[in-house]
Amino acid sequence: MSDNTLSIIAVLKAKEGKREALKSALQALILPTRQEEGCLDYALFQLQDSQDVFYMRESWKGQEALDAHIALPHFQAFVQQMDDLLAEPLQLVRLNAVEP
């Protein structure tokens, strides 16, 4: 990975009764996001021990690529649903690669 690669874990917790709706909304983001020029990785995970919590592992070709993603219609459609689906605000955990 180059020095400007941006790696993130997005943590999303579903409201009670909204787990499947959140899962579907997140799954709808995967294919269009993976086709974006600046996307290096975009993978969805559901916690085994807490099924209402999802992690989206993301890697981008820098902040500009992430900013472009956030502005696209498929992501903005998800943003419009967040208040209804999320039990708490979206958490973005920024990561730094540790290489040998």
DSSP string spanning 17-55? T-HHHHHHHHHHHHHHHHTSTTEEEEEEEE-SS-TTEEE
d(CA 11, CA 35): 22
Q: Answer whether 0.75 is exceeded by the pTM.
A: yes
The one-character DSSP state at 15 is P
d(CA 47, CA 100): 29
Per residue in 38-86, pLDDT tens? 999 999 999 999 999 999 999 999 999 999 999 999 999 999 999 999 9
Phi, psi of 17 (to 5 degrees): 80, 0
On the CB side of 32, CA atoms within 13 Å amount to: 16
Q: What is the pLDDT of residue 100?
A: 81
Per residue in 20-32, pLDDT tens? 999 999 999 999 9
